Structure 1
Amino acid sequence: MSTAYNHKTVEKKWQKYWQENETFKTDVWDFSKPKYYALDMFPYPSGVGLHAGHPEGYTATDIMSRMKRMQGYNVLHPMGYDSFGLPAEQYAVTTGNHPAEFTQKNIATFSKQLRELGFDYDWSKMIATSDPKFYKWTQWIFKKLYEAGYAKHIDMPVNWCEELGTVLSNDEVIDGKSERGGYPVVRKNMKQWVIDQPAFAEKLLEGLEEIDWPESTKDMQRNWIGKSTGVEVEFEIVDGGKFSIFTTCIETIYGITFMVLAPDGEIVKSLMDRVENKEEVEAYIAETAKKNDFDRTELNKTKSGCRLEGIYCINPVNGKKVPLFIGDFVLASYGTGAVMAVPSHDQRDFEYAIAHNIDMIQVIEGADVSEHAFEKQDYLGKGCKLINSEEFTGLTVEEAKVAITKKLVDMGVAKETVNYHFREWIFARQRYWGEPVPCVYKEDGEIYFLPDEELPLILPPLDDYKGKNGKAPLENAVEWKQYDKNGIKGVRETATMPGSAGSSWYYMRYIDPDNDKEFANQELLKHWMPVDLYVGGPEHAVGHLMYSRIWNRFLYDQGLSPVKEPFKKLVHQGMILGENGIKMGKRFPEFVVNPSDIVEEYGADTLRLYEMFMGPIEVSKPWNSDAVQGAYRFIKRVWAFFTDEEKIVDENDNTLTKIYHQTVKKVTNDFEELGYNTAIAQMMTFVNEVYKAGKCPKEYAENFIKMFSCICPHVGEEIWQILGHNDTIAFEKWPEYDESKMVEDTIKVPVQINGKTKAVVELPADVSKDDAILAGKEAIADKLTGNVVKEIYVPGRIINIVMK
């Protein structure tokens, strides 16, 4: 008889064993086996610790890495911490303590919780982005980006959050507020470090075709890059000056009745001395400055703006004067900062024209442009013809695109070009707790990057961690700021890098985390990259996942990364919701689940099993406390049978042969596709059959426990030992299945009369047509009361007797 299952004793025993024996430490120089690199999006070590959503994705990669190890792969499954960020800095501001103390304490808490969940991480390779040994190389890569011309220091409008005292990137602003804290964000001109994302646009688009990612994520990246092919046209300003616009609808150029410029753009600044309504324009510009990009675009329902009185440009196709307006929906940071307006054929332009009483010219047939009838229509489609367009009248839209473009190009005022929605990645933060930018502003104004031997540039301790009046906290480090070495005098940059800097390349550092000579050994990178499986949330689609692809592609182009794309396969885990079906959080604290509570009451294996059995990994699912108890009961059921030596036998009477091979096949295939819920269902079916049989051949028992141990590693290790083994189960050979052992001996076939089922017969799987029909007719002999006109047998499906 087996002893009762005690999860606390079992789990502590094996966690201690794994830690003392470094069971999951990977020899990255062992090239004798195929490699498998499984990776989780590493967490920020908050003071709250793990929540119920963390274990879901982590368990998914853990199961995969355990299976791959048994299949003979050399598995790398590391863990680390994205440890720079605002919470630690806010803690420092509040308490006066260095944020490193707060961060280290949280890392220790997270690591303890992760160990308690039994994950097979190689802890010898742990990294933290706030560790100078790590961020030395973040600084080094940024320096390389600068030297290659991709990192730039420019004056530009930025998202400024007064409450947080820092600049925010576009993906850190949600509905006009900071992602963290929900504070107001406004636009402000500042000198900023940026990375030229558009320079990588085509390479990023091409790379999406090579990777196994969810199509929804690929589409989000394509839309974020926003490639459009069109024509850039130059417009002369009356009495001097010029500007350009980009359009994908050059065929509508004869319908231009006004132009709209960005209020905060350089074009408007250059015209202010000539504007007749200067006070009105300046007031509108000041009002625009209070809005962020989201307010100016997504939320812009009023079509606000004002006329630049006395200013006109010339339409190059017909020489007509066109009035200029400013409107806050046009952004200086996007495109040319100017748009042509054709209100007859564009919804936004139409609404603006109505709001400002501007004329309209219809240039494509079929549109009704009256104020009340206008709706967005597909009248620019194939076959529509131009009107009111001089020599191009009568041409189709497609013909006109070509002909008008040629005319403008021949005139020397236009060129065909590609435009992107993609903008520069703002790479400076007025914060303390981030990587210092390793450069100095020399006395002559030139930028000087520190030589490699002076890296890392380490953050200095401060008495005051709060920035003031838009200035970075490092402005308070008076002595640290001053630089005087090797004949170079100047002042250090006091902005720091964003939290996304370290996470853009950390996946490479895991491979060689202690290397002080290079960010990672090139031979190791060639062997281990790309990451085979990357699991994390979909909310990172146009943030971290885009940034990582950019940094990796830059390093690839520099000959420093062996792969064009860093993550071969990407899987997004769904959200685990509260029992009310709503996202866990402060609003419903009674529904927040602390994984430590589940581990204490039921064990880590129960939590792992339950979260994998909730449903497909990609789908969001509500928590169910009753189902947690069901997972616990199943573990105890497995324990009770497979630790009972009387039930594990040497002989095999083949009672379980078919279900055993079916189980090995389905679990193997489902694990490969991360279909853990259906794999567990198959394991439950096998256990049910084992209980019915009352005994199980030892070979089948051991191989079942190997598979089961990937999900429930503590129980698996303990049962493995009870079955007579002294070593860990982690490196045992993965079970194989035999297709021939799964063939059904008999089949059940419905017997119909005129398409209506009257009986079911059990037949040999290889039964002939004649024998099948004969058996079917015998089964319904008492119902065959008419004339048989046809006998049909669909192999394995139906027997149908057609009668009159």
Structure 2
Amino acid sequence: MKEYNFKEIEKKWQKDWEEKNLFKTENKVEGKENYYVLEMLPYPSGNLHMGHVRNYTIGDVIARYKKMKGFNILHPIGWDSFGLPAENAAIQNGAHPEKWTASNIATMKNQLKKLGLSYDWDREIASYRDDYYKWNQWIFKKMYEKGLVYKKKSLVNWCPDCQTVLANEQVEDGKCWRHSKTDVVQKELEQWFFKITDYADELLEGHKELKGGWPDKVLTMQKNWIGKSFGTEVKFKLENSDIEIPVFTTRADTLYGVTYCVLAPEHPLVNELILKDNPSIKTEVENMMNQDMITRTAEGKEKNGVFTGKYVINPINNEKVPLWIGDYVLMNYGTGAVMAVPAHDERDFMFAKKYNLPIKVVITPIDKKTKEKIDLKAEEMENAFIDKGVLINSGEFNDLDNKIAITKIAEYLETNNFGERTIKYRLKDWGISRQRYWGTPIPVLYCEKCGEVLEKDENLPVKLPEDVKFTGNGNPVETSETFKNAICPVCGGKAKRETDTMDTFVDSSWYFLRYTDPKNENLPFEKEIANGWSPVDQYIGGIEHAVMHLLYARFFHKVLRDLGLLSTNEPFKRLLTQGMVLGPSYYSKNENRYLYPKEVELKGEKAYSKETGEELIVKVEKMSKSKNNGVDPLHIINEYGSDTARLFSMFAAPPEKELEWNENGLAGANRFLSRIWKLVIENKKHFNTKEINYSNISKVDKKVLRKLHQTIKKVTESIEDNYHFNTAIAAIMELLNDIQDYSVNVINKEESSESKKIFTELLLKTVLLLSPFAPHITQELWKEIGKITYLFEENWPEYIEKLTEEDEMNIAVQVNGKLRGTILVEKANINNKELIEKMALEVENVKKYTEDKNIIKIIVIPGKIVNIVVK
């Protein structure tokens, strides 16, 4: 028998597919509907990890399945190839980022091809190439002209280690998202911004279009990040002054309970007035400012503040309250000032307790039974009261339901010019300036005569300079005199180029549209072509991008639409956020490090250091280099084959769930493929591809045919219904068991030509069902069967509903109302009461309760129950 040599088979078909360019996509195919499946743009780190294998296999299974379902498929790939890692490598190794990046792309491209992925490599893009980033610059210009780009001085998150600015979304627990060794600090810089806030409402409203296609969790994360709040801006006056401090609140009902106000340390008044009058608090204020924005507002973190020595006047009751500066107030949310109501806000309550500030109750709960007010005493409160209630200590608004009071007090403030109702957003404009080399140059110049000007379209791309020095200090672009010194495109005089480059999230905010028309030299993409593929039908990637890439891409898509380049509103119709790949990690307390698996000895559920015998801390965690628990995909491919790696990664868990890597499961997947190989190769001699005569088949034939059609239905529905590939593969495995039994008990014992036709049908359809998951072995088996076509060009198997239905029914048999057994009745005899009564009385357990007894009557409810009444 021909052996299953996966190395030879996979290499053979990968070469064949590539040489014939079989996955090349035409933008239009007559009679076929376009379907665009896409995995998130990968960063070329140089090495695949198991997360890549899982992510790209999901996309490939969908692409192959949809192609077999008759769609014209677009399934492209490219490289998110700008960014800090390449620049850091240049600094550390003396290699230019371009060479480092190109080398990594070549390596990863070769690795991806080993997985047999059905990519149209003709559409490959790389964001570091100037034929791509030229269009970043072109889009920047169009947005600038539309008033969506501006420059201003701003406090930014600064990573001292990376020497660059980070967006709020790129700060995690006070650290840079790229690493966790250096605290992010605040720094004031001139920055370029995209006005994403102009689209805040539409980004929220667009969630309605995405409902059902995107995970609710992602939509909720975006909604919370955009943070639309309806509230009131109240004017607090600085005591003995005409200076007004606007304060935004969503809780106007608590206005009578204000006992102090707090300014953000960045508030203009802090520098302009307060620190001049009270310089002794300058150090404390600077310490607050140097914390990153995310950490300052983190839930559970102790809040810090300092009294300014000044007071403000509450406009609703003319009370004088102290003015503080606090780290938990941000300048980029609301107005940079808050009114503190410690009795009814948990954060204010903790701050008041810490600094011994007054607490005044203005909302009290109502006893549900007596309907009387419950007397809350501030001195006895252990937490803020934040539930519903009625107002007290609130003048003319006393006894109002607090929800009604929000509107009533807001109206009062507006009538008396003490404030006005307004809407605020947590979302702030997107700062895109980065002080680094490896990114898209911003196409702006500063002319001595003309001021700030844009580069002309015909001069794009503004290319990155080659004569730069990677010292590790500052922005390398600043070291290039040839780049900095330029000619003004307006007057021809001397000008200086902008040396900041764009945030790399710009690259990934529209790349999916470039794939539709990647060779276009006149536009980023042709509108008609992009409309033919937009929005992406199925997008696949990690949930960690919910409020970065996915929000930015939605913003860009809407801007490009408004620029007349598109007709669609959203970039991605359906989103699948795949779960992480997990593996066991082994931590040594004594050595303060994670051990490699080869250094570990396993004894049952416990693990020990082979060298020292120390019992290790074992955890199942996300695979990462830092925890030495990663699995090299190339090792898996070399050991078991890419079909096995693909099959296991789809079978071990639903795609949206975490996948725990298991070597035994991998071996099991390999055994399954070997079984189907053996079954086909050993039984080729029995194949009969003639049409089945369904009127001339046995009961056993019917049963196995029913299993086939049930499996086709199950696999199809599992893929269509949220891509439950694990249940689809499980169904194919069950079918294979039945086919093997059929092979042993029927095919190898009988000469029935109908049975051999059915057996052939079973194996042909099983190979087709399995082909999206394991494309190499199935293509080889297809050839062995005698087929000359490519599987992905075949039609997906169709099931016949009638053949999925069971032709026998289980009917319960009762004696005097108690279940005593069951009978299996063919559907053709379901109304044959005489036969059913006879079968019921012959059940062994029923005989025990009817023998020697007088049968009064037998009640038969067809298809449901038989009840024998005895006396």
SS at match of 1:578: strand
How far, CA to CA, are the matches of 1:227 and 1:798 in structure 2?
A: 59
SS at match of 2:312: strand
C-alpha contact 2:175 2:184 (8 A) present in aligned 1: yes
Shift of the 414–707 alpha-carbon distance from structure 1 to 2, 3 Å rule, reads: same
Please state how far the C-alpha of 1:24 moved relative to its aligned partner.
0.3
Q: Name the structure 1 match of 2:689.
A: 650
Q: Name the structure 1 match of 2:777.
A: 715
Q: Name the structure 1 match of 2:186.
A: 187
How far, CA to CA, are the matches of 2:205 and 2:838 in structure 1?
A: 61
Matched, 1:595 2:648: no
* Matched AA of 2:246: S
Matched, 1:480 2:483: yes
Q: Name the structure 2 match of 1:368.
A: 376
Shift of the 803–226 alpha-carbon distance from structure 1 to 2, 3 Å rule, reads: farther
The more displaced of 631-640 and 482-491 is: 482-491
Q: Which has the higher contact order (CA 8 A, sep 6+)?
A: 1
Q: Name the structure 2 match of 1:676.
A: 725
C-alpha contact 2:443 2:454 (8 A) present in aligned 1: yes
Shift of the 560–31 alpha-carbon distance from structure 1 to 2, 3 Å rule, reads: farther
* Matched AA of 2:38: L
* Matched AA of 2:42: P
How far, CA to CA, are the matches of 2:471 and 2:223 in structure 1?
A: 38
> Superposition pairs for residues 373-772 of structure 1, below 5 Å?
373-379=381-387, 381=388, 384-443=389-448, 446-466=451-471, 468=473, 471-486=474-489, 487-488=491-492, 489-579=494-584, 581-589=620-628, 591-643=629-681, 644-650=683-689, 652=692, 653=697, 654-655=701-702, 656-673=704-721, 674-694=723-743, 695=747, 697=757, 698-753=760-815, 757-765=819-827, 767-768=830-831, 770=833, 772=836
**Deviations, residues 426-483 of structure 1 (Å, cap 9, x unaligned):** 2111111111111112325832111211111111113412463xx4221111121112
Please state how far the C-alpha of 1:709 moved relative to its aligned partner.
1.4
**Deviations, residues 154-202 of structure 1 (Å, cap 9, x unaligned):** 1111111111111111121111111212121111111111222222221
Q: Name the structure 2 match of 1:272.
A: 274
The more displaced of 163-172 and 406-415 is: 406-415
Please state how far the C-alpha of 1:323 moved relative to its aligned partner.
2.0
Give the fraction of aligned pairs with identical amino acids, expressed as a percent: 40
C-alpha contact 2:253 2:405 (8 A) present in aligned 1: yes
C-alpha contact 1:706 1:729 (8 A) present in aligned 2: yes
How far, CA to CA, are the matches of 2:467 and 2:68 in structure 1?
A: 50
**Deviations, residues 711-750 of structure 1 (Å, cap 9, x unaligned):** 1111121111122222322211222111111221112234
**Number of aligned residues:** 793
C-alpha contact 1:157 1:333 (8 A) present in aligned 2: no
Shift of the 217–249 alpha-carbon distance from structure 1 to 2, 3 Å rule, reads: same
How far, CA to CA, are the matches of 2:417 and 2:841 in structure 1?
A: 87
How far, CA to CA, are the matches of 1:793 and 1:442 in structure 2?
A: 97
How far, CA to CA, are the matches of 1:120 and 1:79 in structure 2?
A: 10
Shift of the 758–431 alpha-carbon distance from structure 1 to 2, 3 Å rule, reads: same
**Deviations, residues 574-629 of structure 1 (Å, cap 9, x unaligned):** 1111156322223542x421111111121111111111111211111211111111
C-alpha contact 1:776 1:799 (8 A) present in aligned 2: yes
Shift of the 43–347 alpha-carbon distance from structure 1 to 2, 3 Å rule, reads: same
C-alpha contact 2:289 2:327 (8 A) present in aligned 1: no
How far, CA to CA, are the matches of 1:359 and 1:335 in structure 2?
A: 24
C-alpha contact 1:136 1:457 (8 A) present in aligned 2: yes
Shift of the 14–230 alpha-carbon distance from structure 1 to 2, 3 Å rule, reads: same
Q: Name the structure 2 match of 1:56.
A: 54
How far, CA to CA, are the matches of 2:19 and 2:557 in structure 1?
A: 35
SS at match of 2:156: strand
C-alpha contact 1:193 1:426 (8 A) present in aligned 2: yes
Q: TM-score, normalised by structure 2?
A: 0.87
**Deviations, residues 501-531 of structure 1 (Å, cap 9, x unaligned):** 1101100000000101011111101111110
Please state how far the C-alpha of 1:797 moved relative to its aligned partner.
5.7
How far, CA to CA, are the matches of 1:626 and 1:282 in structure 2?
A: 62
Shift of the 447–29 alpha-carbon distance from structure 1 to 2, 3 Å rule, reads: farther
* Matched AA of 1:253: L
> Superposition pairs for residues 113-262 of structure 1, below 5 Å?
113-182=111-180, 183-211=182-210, 212-238=213-239, 239-262=241-264
C-alpha contact 2:739 2:762 (8 A) present in aligned 1: no
C-alpha contact 1:44 1:83 (8 A) present in aligned 2: yes
SS at match of 2:73: strand
Please state how far the C-alpha of 1:358 moved relative to its aligned partner.
2.1
How far, CA to CA, are the matches of 2:642 and 2:809 in structure 1?
A: 42
C-alpha contact 1:385 1:396 (8 A) present in aligned 2: yes
SS at match of 1:684: helix
**Deviations, residues 373-429 of structure 1 (Å, cap 9, x unaligned):** 3323343x2xx2211212212222133222211111112232221111112222111
How far, CA to CA, are the matches of 1:551 and 1:802 in structure 2?
A: 75
SS at match of 1:639: helix
The more displaced of 334-343 and 571-580 is: 571-580
Shift of the 797–82 alpha-carbon distance from structure 1 to 2, 3 Å rule, reads: farther
**Deviations, residues 523-557 of structure 1 (Å, cap 9, x unaligned):** 10111111001111111111111111111111122
How far, CA to CA, are the matches of 1:213 and 1:721 in structure 2?
A: 40
How far, CA to CA, are the matches of 1:677 and 1:721 in structure 2?
A: 27
How far, CA to CA, are the matches of 2:859 and 2:552 in structure 1?
A: 62
How far, CA to CA, are the matches of 1:774 and 1:227 in structure 2?
A: 72
How far, CA to CA, are the matches of 2:30 and 2:557 in structure 1?
A: 23
Shift of the 213–404 alpha-carbon distance from structure 1 to 2, 3 Å rule, reads: same
Equivalent residue for 1:73, pick from 71, 82, 87: 71
The more displaced of 618-627 and 120-129 is: 618-627
SS at match of 1:53: helix
How far, CA to CA, are the matches of 2:377 and 2:276 in structure 1?
A: 33
Equivalent residue for 2:96, pick from 95, 98, 101: 98
SS at match of 2:342: coil
Shift of the 802–457 alpha-carbon distance from structure 1 to 2, 3 Å rule, reads: farther
* Matched AA of 1:296: R
RMSD: 2.2
Please state how far the C-alpha of 1:567 moved relative to its aligned partner.
0.5
How far, CA to CA, are the matches of 1:385 and 1:318 in structure 2?
A: 19
* Matched AA of 1:297: T
SS at match of 2:501: coil
**Deviations, residues 651-684 of structure 1 (Å, cap 9, x unaligned):** 5444432122112212222222311111111111
C-alpha contact 1:368 1:374 (8 A) present in aligned 2: no
**Deviations, residues 626-659 of structure 1 (Å, cap 9, x unaligned):** 1111111111111122233213223544443212
C-alpha contact 2:711 2:732 (8 A) present in aligned 1: yes
Shift of the 745–142 alpha-carbon distance from structure 1 to 2, 3 Å rule, reads: same
Please state how far the C-alpha of 1:98 moved relative to its aligned partner.
1.3
Please state how far the C-alpha of 1:294 moved relative to its aligned partner.
2.7
Alignment gaps of 5+ in structure 2: 366-374, 585-618, 748-755
How far, CA to CA, are the matches of 1:493 and 1:793 in structure 2?
A: 89
* Matched AA of 1:768: N
Shift of the 4–88 alpha-carbon distance from structure 1 to 2, 3 Å rule, reads: same
SS at match of 1:101: helix
C-alpha contact 1:578 1:584 (8 A) present in aligned 2: yes
C-alpha contact 2:391 2:399 (8 A) present in aligned 1: yes
Shift of the 793–273 alpha-carbon distance from structure 1 to 2, 3 Å rule, reads: same
How far, CA to CA, are the matches of 1:753 and 1:223 in structure 2?
A: 62
How far, CA to CA, are the matches of 1:353 and 1:100 in structure 2?
A: 55
How far, CA to CA, are the matches of 2:78 and 2:862 in structure 1?
A: 57
